[in-house]
Every structure is written in C-alpha cells, then in structure tokens.
Amino acid sequence: METLNYPALGETLVRHTLSNGLRILVAPKPGFRRAHAIFATRYGGADRRFRLGDRWIDTPAGIAHFLEHKMFDMPDGSNVLAELSARGASPNAYTGSAVTAYHFTCTDNFYVNLDTLLNYVSTPYYTEESVRKEQGIIAQEIRMYENSPGSVGYYRLMEILYAHHPVRENVAGTVESIASITPETLYNCHKVFYNPSNMVLCCVGDVDPEAVIAAAERILPSQPGEQPNRDYGEPESPLPAERRSEREMEVAQPIFYMGVKLDAPKSGADRLRFRLLAELALDRLAGPSSGLYNDLYAQGLLSRDFGFEVDDAAGAMTMLIAGESRDPEAVADALFERIDRVSHRGPDAAAFERCRRARYGMELGGLDRFSGYAGALFRGCMDGWNALDVFDLLQGFTAEEAAEFLCSAVTPERAAMSVIRPAG
C-alpha cells in the first residue's frame, strides 16, 4: 500500500495492487457523507475483436453495453440494482468506447454495498430469456439516442473522422446488431475482460483504504486471469476519412461537431501531458475569454452552449469542438483564421497565463465532484498516468508550446465537421 500526499491540494491518494493484479485507488475525503465506489473494466464499445485462447472472436456492435445491462441479474433471480437501491444507495453503470464502469453512491452501509458491487460484477449470469427481454429495453435506449441531435451529430463526426477504428461506432450498437447477441457471447466477453488484472477499483469518500483492500481480497478471484488481447485494426491516417457530413433533423438551428484526430504519445504521463496541452491550447483559442469566442458571440454566430473537449478512448485521441450556429462554416473559417494569426503574430503570454489559472481552478473544483474525480483516477490508472499530476504538469507549459501545438495539429486538412441541419 502506497500513500501519496498532496498538501497544496488538501488531497491524499492511496494506491495498492492485489496479487491477482487488481489495482485499487482510494481518495479519502474526511467530512463528506457521500461515498462513491466504482469498479471498472478496460472493456468498452470499441473492443469488438479479441483473442480467446488460440482464436480471434468477432462480436456484434453494442455487446459491451449489453453486457453492462445484464450484469445486474444474479443466479438466484434477484436484481442487484434493486438490492443496492433498497439499501438507499444510488447504483448505476456506464459503458464508453474503452471502459465499462459499475458504481454506486451512498451515505450509509458503504462496506456492505461495496461487497455487493464486487460480487455482482464478478458473477456472470445470462439466460436466453433475460437476453431477449433486454433487447426490447436497449432497443428503446438506442431509439432515444437516434432522437437526440447531439448524439447523432457526435457519431456522424466519429464516422467521418475515423476510417475503421471502432470508436466510430455507437457504443450501444444498433437494434439489428444487438439482435444477434446470445448468452454464450456474453459469457465469452465476461471471461476475457472481467479479470482482476484488467480492472480497477476506485473509492472516493470518507472511507478506510485498508477495509476497501480487504474486501477486494476477500471477494474477488485470486487468479489474475488472462490478459485480453484486442484488435482495433490498422493504425489510422492522421487525416479524416471524409471531411463533411450533413444530416437533417428537427432542430431549431444547425448543430455542428468539428473534430481533429490527435497524434498523441501512446500512453503514460506523456499522453496526459499531451492531452492537457491540447486542452489549454483550446482554452486559449476558443475559451470564454478568447477573441474568437467573443467575436463570434457578438456576431450572433455562437451561443453560450459552445464548447470543446479532448476525448481519449481506446487509443484514439480526438479534439472536439461543438455548438449551435446558424452558420457553422463561418465558425470553422474564423477558427482557422485565428490559428493562422497566432502562427504569424506569436502567442500572448498574459492571456495564456490567465487560461492556465482558469484551468487550475476548474481542475481543483473537480476534486469535490466524486464521480468525475473517480472517473479520472481509474482511467489514468488504466492508461498509466495519475490524475492528480495535472496540477504540477499545468505549471510546466509555455504560451509558445500551446501556440505551436495549435498551428501544427489543428489545420483545415486534418479537421472534419458534422452538421445537423433543421429539416425541411
């Protein structure tokens, strides 16, 4: 057990790896009533093709998400969601492109709930009947996403940006793809990906790290299980597969998603540093205090829900810029014009310093939002970085570095845009 202290942040982090390979992270939060536990596997929508024993297996789109839904059924016919809820906890789960995470938040009975969490996620139980029933529920979930202009716009962007990397597919799959899922495929996926050595347990709250470790040791299998071998296909070109997508839906005004594939270091602290640099560069380019945002806002081309982020999943790092605008092309043109100006005039050190401070404050506030904090901790653990390192890393960037990043990574040739236009 290793304890890391961050006195300037008022934080402590306890890390431990069990002999079965499970990594455990605990961030004690004295004074808080709420405690959050998350048990996550490095397995998501993008992990469609993998090796089991000596053969490669191809699975239908949406299977990781389907498996997530079915983890709550127990062999005795009970449903864990109901059991945890009956104790007053708020349990839930989510599936991303690269991870599936099961979590609960509670103010009471934390250790009993933790036992339940560890138990059910390591107990696969699927029947023909329960799989059939879930197909109806998930079909409605997929229809809900199909109705959401934001979700459609995002996935259209990923489809044109990436030629074949599976992050381009909807994590939930399609109504057709999930129809072919059987209990056997689910058992295979659980066997390959739900091994202690492929998982991370993370707790944030006023909890005792030793008790958390003891629970995991007591409940989980003692063997690490096999190391999953997954296939995301050939490396992607740095250029988008297609540049444009247009769709019509019932929306008030056009919604746009712009994206750029980023060529980031493979893993570890370098990858974290790279992502942070990309975020800072975006803050400076398009954040609330940028000339770009304020000009476009004043011209009526952007609204307050304009935003951007850097997505990092399954080895694919993507810069996303999204918003609503009556003229998305004008927004894109203005963006590249600004970058062009930076490359000629050089960076503004004072403005960059303000962005760095703003980012510091934002990351600091994030330490009180348990589910987001726990999410950053376990993802970092899977990818070889420590979420609390961002505070030190932030001090090390220069305005020149951010400007250089923008000019080289964000060019018209590398960008793609998906637009949802009002129908009719």
By CB under 8 A, name the binding residues for another protein: 8-10, 30-34, 79, 81-82, 85-91, 105-108, 133-134, 136-138, 140-141, 143-144, 146-150, 249-253, 255, 287-291, 294, 297-298, 300, 303-304, 324, 351, 354-355, 357-362, 364-365, 367-368, 423
Considering beta carbons, is residue 146 or 226 the nearer one to another protein?
A: 146
61's CB contacts (< 8 A; 6+ apart) are 45, 48, 169, 170, 173, 174, 177, 178
Nearer to another protein, 79 or 237 (CB): 79
Q: How far is the CB of 50 from another protein (least distance, A)?
A: 28
Q: What would you report as the CA-atom Rg of the chain, rounded to the nearest whole angstrom?
A: 22
Q: What are phi and psi of 163, to 5 degrees?
A: -75, -40
Quote the least distance from Cβ 47 to another protein, whole Å.
23
Provide the minimum distance between the beta carbon of 159 and another protein in the complex, in angstroms, as a whole number.
Answer: 18
CB of 81 to another protein, least distance (A): 5
- Clarify whether 68 is annotated catalytic: yes
Q: Which is nearer to another protein, 18 or 360 (CB)?
A: 360
Distance CA 159, CA 165 (A): 9
Interstrand relation of 100-106 and 35-41 (parallel, antiparallel or unpaired): antiparallel
> How far apart are CB 158 and another protein at their closest, in Å?
20
**Which one from 2, 68, 210, 329 is the annotated catalytic residue?**
68
Q: Considering beta carbons, is residue 53 or 136 the nearer one to another protein?
A: 136
Complex with another protein: residue 45 or 287, whichever CB lies closer: 287
How near is the Cβ of 250 to another protein at its closest, in Å?
5
Catalytic residues: 68
